Amino acid sequence: MKAWLKKIQKWLQGLVIFFFVSTIAAVVAYRWLPVPVTPLMIIRCAQQVGRGEQIRLRHHWVTLDEMSKYMPVAVMASEDQRFLEHHGFDFDAINEAVKERQAGKRIRGGSTISQQTAKNVFLWPKQSWLRKGLEVYFTALIEIFWSKTRIMEVYLNSIEMGDGIYGAEAVAQLHFGCTAAELTRANCALIAATLPNPLRYNSKEPSAYMLRRQTWIMRQMKHIDLLRQ
């Protein structure tokens, strides 16, 4: 019995060591390497196949220098205005979200761009306590090993921006007929307006609500500094 327990203990120790070594190695590698595919991309493709549809996956990696300077500003204005100040977690936003939930108001997320990047690159979209715990872990890792500009670069290349569309370059080509570098300030604000639900909101055919949100984001962008390389 003792020998069996020792084997299990040794196996678990090896599993824990493998987890930490492999995850840290992946985070360090992605400090420089483009992220070719994310779990969400794979899940969406599987869903499309399950519905008998043709696979839709448009994803073109470009550097932050190859994007409009307004793209990071727009997503910070929309998603995480304290991105350059916090270390991965915006506790003020989390507290506000909790208060709104308790008051029965429309629930908004408290996730930062760093948290969303960690989730998009390393994890799955479905909510659970396990995923949330791993999200905290990976967020801490990318804040340690990546710069803010690298986090933003990975975020803007990996985030879902439409049906089968991932990243700024793909949405620029498909919805605006240009490259990510050619996106205007208004284009960037409109793309950022879709991010709460890019499968519901379409930056190519914006609704009246999206146009109002675009206007709000453009006002907020005046108070956000350009992201320096």
pLDDT in tens, the chain (229 residues): 667 777 778 888 888 999 999 999 999 999 999 999 999 999 999 999 999 999 999 999 999 999 999 999 999 999 999 999 999 888 776 666 555 555 555 444 569 999 999 999 999 988 899 999 999 999 999 999 999 999 999 999 999 999 999 999 999 999 999 999 999 999 999 999 999 899 999 999 999 999 999 999 999 999 998 876 5
> What is the CATH T-level fold of the domain 40-47+61-82+89-221, as seen in this structure?
Penicillin binding protein transpeptidase fold (1.10.3810)
Q: Which of 129, 142, 125, 110 is nearest to 198 (CA)?
A: 125
Give the CA dihedral 25, 133, 46, 53, nearest 10 degrees: -120
Confidence at residue 112, expressed as pLDDT on a 0 to 100 scale: 96
Q: How far apart are CA 86 and CA 110, in angstroms?
A: 13
Q: How far apart are CA 227 and CA 211, in angstroms?
A: 25
Query: Could you state, in order of their start, the residue ranges of all structural domains in the chain?
Result: 1-30, 40-47+61-82+89-221
CA 68, chain centre distance (Å): 18
> E strand or H helix at 166, and its extent?
strand 165-166
Q: Give the position of tokens 């801490």.
A: 140
Helix, strand, coil % over all residues of the chain, rounded to 5? 60, 5, 35
CB 214 within 8 A of CB 206: yes
